[in-house]
Amino acid sequence: MEFKMRYAMAAMIVGIGAGAAQAEVPRVAADIAPIHSIVAAIMGDVGSPDLITPPTASPHSHQMRPSEARALDQADIVVWVGHALTPWLEGPVETLAEGAHVIELMDLDGTELLDVREGAAFGAHNHDHGHEEPKEAGHGDHQEHAHDKKDAHEEDGYDGHAHEEHAHADDGHEEHAQEDEHEHEEHGHEDEHAHGQHAEAHDEHAGHDDHAGHAAHGSTDPHVWLAPANAAFWAGVIAEELAEHDPSNAAIYKANAAAFINDLKALEAEIEAMVDPFRGRTFVVFHDAYHYFEHRFDIEALGSVSTGDAAAPSAGRMSELQEAVMATGAVCALTEPQFNPGLLTALGPVKLGEIDPLGAKLEPGPTLYPDLLRNMGSALAECLS
């Protein structure tokens, strides 16, 4: 059953009309399409969140259009991954959204965090980096509710790892754009690694390339939305926040969150069935954005052509990865919609596929997030087959 239909049914079950409290529905701004999708699923027919970064743009370097800046300025609630993914957004959040309640997802106690992987070839099933303790909530008004929200999440019965047969232990600024930058229009399919072209100057060895990539992220991988357990946890947090702002529709938000979580559990089982026949086969990705997805489904990449922020790879990095592909007999290389697959063809005789961590080809809305995960599982299975 489609996600959107489930949310509409949830609203009918609780017997509350969205129109009755429409004037008090909070305005919500979300940073990237997957997060926007989760918020849209929780809001359902009550309201629609605003999206700051289009799915075709780079979350690392997007320049807001006037309409996006206006949405941030008018927001009552801002939901964003955090400065580790979108350092350019930190300033606008602090200034344009000064009066909004801000949820920085990576700072929530309960968000699963994994370390950035080192080198071009980080090896399959490398879980020896250990568990990283979740960060405490970074915003005072959310920190006082952190434990209540986590408890509510646990009451929903969601455990993203309980049914895994191959379970492992959990692993653990730039100043804001000036006002004149708000007038720049987005240039269609932004090249996500355009801001990293200067990394080619560090061709001496792959290590320099890695450090350049880590500069934007620190030691924590910011692609946290690709862990289904994180999305389920955030659904509960977002529902609670919406309910606090809009008590008249609290039952709808909570029912929608419960429907989202239940559907997500079913989707995980679907993806497990897709990738299970291909565990043990090796593959390469364009940039290291899929650690959380790989970790959840116990099927990890051999390495990545580019660094974590999709910077252009050095000659040394390419050489290291070519050697690893030859040594392991990798069968698949996955590019992304924003990138030219030419670099992947240089790795050797591997099957090319395409995987999308942002939903560049999907319509923003409540179905984008589940469709994104499903498409990732399907693309990976097809490439490995």
pLDDT in tens, the chain (385 residues): 444 444 444 444 444 443 433 448 999 999 999 999 999 999 999 999 999 999 988 888 888 999 999 999 999 999 999 999 999 999 999 999 999 999 999 999 999 999 988 888 885 434 443 334 433 333 334 333 333 434 434 444 465 443 333 333 334 333 333 333 434 344 333 333 333 333 333 333 333 333 333 334 458 999 999 999 999 999 999 999 999 999 999 999 999 999 999 999 999 999 999 999 999 888 989 888 999 999 999 998 998 888 755 667 888 888 888 888 888 888 889 988 877 777 787 887 789 999 999 999 999 999 999 999 999 999 999 999 9
Structure confidence at residue 312 (pLDDT) = 76
- Contact criterion met (CB below 8 Å) for 10 and 255: yes
pLDDT at 30: 98
Whole-angstrom distance, CA of residue 27 vs CA of residue 44: 13
- The H or E element spanning position 335 is strand 332-335
pLDDT at 9: 44
Alpha-carbon gap, residue 199 to 309, rounded angstroms:
11
For helices 250-275 and 3-14, the axis angle rounded to 10 degrees is 150
Q: What is the pLDDT of residues 324-355, one digit of tens each?
A: 888 888 888 998 887 777 778 788 778 999 99
Q: In angstroms, rounded to a whole number, what is the distance separating the alpha carbons of residues 295 and 164?
A: 11
**Ordered alpha helix ranges (H), the chain:** 3-14, 33-43, 66-73, 90-95, 140-143, 146-155, 206-217, 228-245, 250-275, 291-297, 315-328, 342-345, 368-384
CA distance 376 to 63: 27
What pLDDT is stored for residue 133 in this prediction?
Answer: 41
CA–CA dist 354, 273 (Å, integer): 20
Distances (CA, A) of 289 to 75, 321, 346, 358: 29, 17, 20, 10
Question: Which DSSP category does 220 fall into?
Answer: B
Domain extent listing, the chain: 3-116+133-189+198-275
The single residue listed with the structure tokens 């568990």 is: 131
According to CATH, the topology of domain 3-116+133-189+198-275 is Rossmann fold (3.40.50)
Q: In 3-state terms, what secondary structure has residue 187?
A: coil
296: amino acid identity, one letter: R
Report residue 302: phi and psi, to 5°: -70, -40
pLDDT of residue 186: 40
Coil vs helix vs strand at 207: helix
- 51 contacts 30 by C-beta, under 8 angstroms: yes
Q: What is the largest distance, in Å, between two alpha-carbon atoms of the chain?
A: 65
Distance CA 298, CA 194 (A): 31
Cβ(221)–Cβ(115) below 8 Å: yes
Contact 360, 189 (CB under 8 A): yes
Q: How many angstroms separate the CA atoms of 21 and 370, rounded?
A: 28
- The confidence score (pLDDT) of residue 308 equals 58
Q: Residue 212: what pLDDT?
A: 34
Closest C-alpha to 355, from 265, 240, 274: 274
Are the C-beta atoms of residues 334 and 379 closer than 8 Å to each other?
yes
